[in-house]
Chain A
Amino acid sequence: MAWMNFLKPKNQLEEGGRTGASVHSDAGEPERTCPNCHKEIPMSRLWANGLVCACGHHFRMKARQRIAQLCDKGSFRELYAAIKADNPLDFPGYHEKAETARAASGETEAVVCGAAKIGGHKCALFAMEPEFMMGSMGSAVGEKITRLFEYAMRYRLPVVGFTVSGGARMQEGLLSLMQMAKTSAAVKRHSDAGLLYIAVLTDPTTGGVTASFAMEADIILAEPGATVGFAGKRVIEQTTKKALPEGFQTSEFVLEHGFIDAIVPRGQQKKYLADLLAMHDGRAAS
């Protein structure tokens, strides 16, 4: 697969302790332990399977890996790549933290935006980046997503968005909170123009992103087993002093409670999204 060459199978998916460190087998090939089935999987097999274990566990995926896997070859044209926030509140340690995130993730910010085609259908696309401060939303993320919806409105395009976020970026204080309002207003305008927005929630989608554009799509999909919720589990336990129910705040939980449309495994997403886009094709005529 072409997109595999593009990927760097380095040890880059450790955030949140869900993926386990990659180790080298006797044969020397890098392996990773699945946190679900605890088997060791050669990295080559994992990459070939879109970072999904044979047991169904979905490892976290970088924004550009998703884009490469999902978009028609050569169709992705990045937008707003230069936008980044420069510690607007002079928050202690933020500049260093963001620079570290830039070095570790290879991204300037926690979301990648652009125009693309999926199965021949034009769309505006965003994919959030788990390795950049766990996809936290600051002014730059809010600005990029807002601009993308405005772009999609101008060219009458549907928007497809992959969310992964720990929530608002507290180092930007109120400015990050306001991005919830800003992105929501942009989503509403795009929606009022009769255009389609599909969100795909991936692990984890929480906090201010859940309480804004993740939950505002016409069609909301999720990857299996992803954490999807508003408040953090620890905060809820501390507040309520109760044990959380089995499977609380997972994709399956929010599906059961009526907040998403379907759970779609990674391997089926391209066709699923192409089918949904095809059914709305009449809307996107420009």
Chain B
Amino acid sequence: MTAAYDRVKKARESGRPTGLDYIGGIFTGFIELHGDRRCGDDPAIVGGLARLIGQSVTVIAIEKGHSAKDRARRNFGAPHPEGYRKALRLMKQAEKFGRPVICLIDTSGAYCGIGAEERGQGQAIAENLMEMSTLCVPVISILIGEGGSGGALALGVSDRVWMMENAVYSVISPEGCASILYKDAGKAAEAAGSLKLTAQDAKSLGIIERILSEKDMGKPEFYARIREMLVQEIGTLGRDAELVAHRYERIRALGTSAVGKEQA
């Protein structure tokens, strides 16, 4: 039980590399592109162009920030609708120019605020889920820290989903789950175990393809390893209709085993 909650704590550690650290470590020549072309620019989501060895890619990351000031400016990595809309704009741009998309996910969840609701947080996430499902270029998502519910999934409808060994991915925070189920947020450790939110859990449930080692995390060899895996994986993914058909099959299978053999 507590093993799962230890992962949650590790995933939240402020010393972990953030999205921008990964971008700097894995890619070269990152050019940040701002704004959703609708209403604003959300610093909780960073996106732009970069080079992955030889090829141009679009990279999108949820960024928590490091310094107290930067963390506050980035809303601690809790995106607003503008962030999700910027991400979608950049994905559509990637599709236009035939660039693979790499998403780095690290959020406690989409922001729960008045403005976020007024500007359609639910609609923004829904649109990303829909549009990502048919994007005609390879999409790989990596959960690098916290994968908080719909706010994480909004960058995670992909051909491959990978998780760092201490990342977590959950439909609700263990604290939130505990306070609903047991009326006691103090039972978060227990809830964390029940929620099956570790990388191992996600892999055995068929939700992710790969668990990435955190050996030498933050060092050049760590990023080099991920770079190599991305290059290889993108090489194996098809393009266009074939790619989209496979992505649908992948998504279609999610949770299907849970409903048993019942056919109607």
Q: B119 to nearest A CB, angstroms?
A: 7
Closest Cβ neighbor of B171 among chain A residues: A177
Within 8 Å CB of A84, what residues of B?
259-260, 262
What range describes how many residues of A lie at the interface?
35 or more
Known contacts A142-B255, A182-B255, A211-B125; A259 and B150 CB within 8 A of each other: no
Q: How far is the CA of A257 from the CA of B119 in the complex (A)?
A: 7
- A175 an interface residue at 8 Å Cβ cutoff? yes
Partner of B259, one of A83, A232, A235: A83
Query: What 1/0 flags go to A171-215 for Cβ under 8 Å of B?
Result: 011111111111011111101100000000000000110111111
Count of A-B contacts with CB under 8 A?
A: 207
Q: Is A16 an interface residue (CB 8 A)?
A: no
B210 at the interface (CB under 8 A from A): no
Nearest residue, chain B, Cβ from A172:
B258
Say yes or no: is B118 at the interface (Cβ < 8 Å to chain A).
Answer: yes
- A-chain residues with CB within 8 Å of residue B247 when the two chains form the complex: 185
Q: How far is the CB of B240 from chain A (nearest CB, A)?
A: 14
Q: Which residues of B contact A92 (CB under 8 A)?
A: 194
Partner of A181, one of B110, B153, B177, B263: B153
Within 8 A of B (CB), among A222-264: 229-232, 235-236, 239-240, 242, 244-245, 248-249, 257-259
Stretch touching chain A among B23-31, B91-99, B128-136, B216-224:
B128-136
User: Are B258 and A88 touching (Cβ within 8 A)?
Assistant: yes
B114 at the binding interface (Cβ < 8 Å): yes
Contact between chains at A178 and B207 (CB < 8 Å): yes
Alpha-carbon distance A80/B205, docked complex (angstroms) = 23
Chain A residues within 8 Å of B180, by CB: 170
Interface string of B104-120 (1 = CB under 8 A from A): 00000011111011111
In the complex, which range does the number of interface residues on chain B fall in? 35 or more
Give every chain B residue within 8 A of A155 (Cβ-Cβ): none
Residue numbers in B under 8 Å from A259 (CB-CB):
120, 123
B194 contact set on A, CB distance < 8 A:
89, 91-92, 173
B112 touches A178 (CB 8 A): no
A231 to B114, CA, bound (A): 9
Bound together, the chains give a CA A143 to CA B255 distance in angstroms of 8
Does more than half of chain B's interface fall in helix, strand or loop, or is it mixed?
helix
B202 lies within 8 A of chain A by Cβ: yes
| B53 interfacial contact with A, CB 8 Å | no
Q: Is the CB of B122 within 8 A of A210?
A: yes
> Which of B118, B123, B251, B256 lies at the interface centre, i.e. has the most chain A CB atoms within 10 A of its CB?
B123
**B126 and A248 contacting across the interface, CB-CB below 8 Å:** no
Name, among A79, A84, A139, the residue most crowded by chain B CB atoms within 10 Å (CB to CB).
A139
* Smallest beta-carbon distance B105→chain A, Å: 13
Instruction: Report A81 CB to chain B, min CB distance, Å.
Output: 6
Mark each residue of chain B from 147 to 160: 1 if its CB lies under 8 Å from any CB of chain A, else 0: 00110011011000
Q: Kindly state whether residue B264 has any CB partner on chain A within 8 Å.
A: yes
Report the bound CA distance from A6 to B150 in whole Å. Answer: 38
Q: B237 near A: Cβ within 8 Å?
A: no
Using A181-B157, A185-B130 as known contacts, say yes or no to A139 and B258 having CB atoms under 8 A apart: yes
- The reply to whether B264 and A79 contact each other, CB–CB distance below 8 Å, is yes
Beta-carbon contact of B259 and A85 below 8 Å: yes
Question: Is there contact, CB below 8 Å, between B205 and A174?
Answer: yes
Are B150 and A208 within 8 A (Cβ)? yes
Check B121 for interface membership: any CB of A closer than 8 A. Answer: yes
Q: Verify A188–B133 contact, CB threshold 8 A.
A: yes
Instruction: Check A257/B130 contact, CB under 8 A, given A215-B123, A239-B112.
Output: no
Listed in ascending order, the chain B residues whose CB lies under 8 Å from chain A are: 110-114, 116-123, 125-127, 129-131, 133-134, 149-150, 153-154, 156-157, 169-172, 176-177, 180-181, 194-197, 201-202, 205, 207, 247-248, 251-252, 254-260, 262-264
| Beyond A179-B255, A189-B133, 4 additional pairs, beta carbon < 8 A | A83-B264, A143-B259, A184-B129, A236-B113
**6 A-B interface contacts by CB (under 8 A):** A83-B262, A91-B195, A175-B207, A186-B252, A191-B130, A211-B154
